[in-house]
Amino acid sequence: MELSNLTNTPGARHSRKRVGRGCGSGMGKTSTKGQKGQASRKGHKHKLGFEGGQMPLVRRLPKRGFNNAAFNAKALGVNVSDLEKRFEAGAEITVETLAKAGFSDNKRPKIKILGNGELTKKFTVKVPCSASAKEKIEKAGGTVA
What is the chain's Cα-based Rg?
A: 35
The answer, yes or no, to whether residue 105 has pLDDT greater than 80, is no
Question: Position 57: which residue type?
Answer: L
| CA 95 to each of CA 103, 109, 126, 128, 140: distance values in angstroms, whole numbers, following the listed order | 9, 9, 8, 10, 21
Task: Specify whether the CB–CB gap between 21 and 28 falls below 8 A.
Answer: yes
The answer, yes or no, to whether residue 106 has pLDDT greater than 90, is no
Question: Position 52: which residue type?
Answer: G
Q: What confidence score (pLDDT) does residue 39 get?
A: 85
Span 60-96, pLDDT tens digits: 999 998 888 877 878 889 999 999 999 999 999 998 8
- The domain locations on the chain are 74-144
CATH hierarchy code of domain 74-144:
3.100.10.10
Span 44-57, pLDDT tens digits: 888 898 888 999 99
Three-class SS of 22-51: CHHHCCCCCCCCCCCCHHHCCCCCCCCCCC
Q: Is the dihedral of CA 9, 12, 18, 24 positive or negative?
A: positive
